């Protein structure tokens, strides 16, 4: 997974301070509100998450603006980061469905048009 869409970025646009919690939310697909609440609870109970937040804010790059073209693409890449194998199965299932529907369309046109069927047979 070397794609820039599978890396962790700070999300400065949707972030409040440095964009780390928004980046974690974007990376995992969890709502940013829940990430922020968990961070605050951990931060006030342990203390070290505040230090980790600022370290991550300094070392992680900002999310490029051109990373996703739309919301569907963003959700797809979040699923890839969460479970690549499951996403690959879903993509294969979609292609199988498209192939089946295309075969149905081809069958319909070939069966109802004998001239087209003869042309296809000549090409084989």
Give me the mean pLDDT over the 33-50 stretch. 88
If you search the block for the tokens 């970025």, which residue do you land on?
9
3-state secondary structure of 62: strand
pLDDT at 34: 92
pLDDT tier at 2 (50, 70, 90 boundaries)? low
If you search the block for the tokens 């790059």, which residue do you land on?
61
- Tokens at residue 5, please? 């869409």
If you search the block for the tokens 């990373």, which residue do you land on?
67
- Tokens at residue 45, please? 């109970």
Residue ranges covered by each domain of the chain: 1-82, 83-124
Instruction: State the Cα–Cα distance between residues 52 and 14, nearest whole angstrom.
Output: 19
Give residue-wise pLDDT tens across range 16-38: 888 888 888 888 878 888 988 98
Contact 116, 110 (CB under 8 A): yes
pLDDT tier at 4 (50, 70, 90 boundaries)? low
């Amino acid at each position: 997974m070397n794609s820039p869409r599978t890396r962790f970025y700070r999300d400065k646009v949707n972030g409040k301070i440095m964009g780390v919690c928004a980046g974690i939310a974007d990376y995992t697909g969890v709502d940013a509100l829940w990430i922020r609440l968990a961070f605050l609870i951990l931060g006030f109970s342990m203390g070290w998450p505040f230090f980790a937040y600022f370290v991550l804010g300094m070392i992680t790059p900002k999310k490029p603006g051109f990373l996703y073209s739309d919301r569907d693409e963003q959700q797809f890449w979040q699923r890839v980061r969460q479970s690549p194998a499951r996403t690959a199965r879903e993509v294969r299932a979609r292609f199988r469905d498209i192939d089946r529907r295309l075969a149905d369309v081809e069958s319909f046109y070939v069966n109802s048009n004998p001239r087209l069927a003869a042309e296809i047979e000549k090409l084989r």
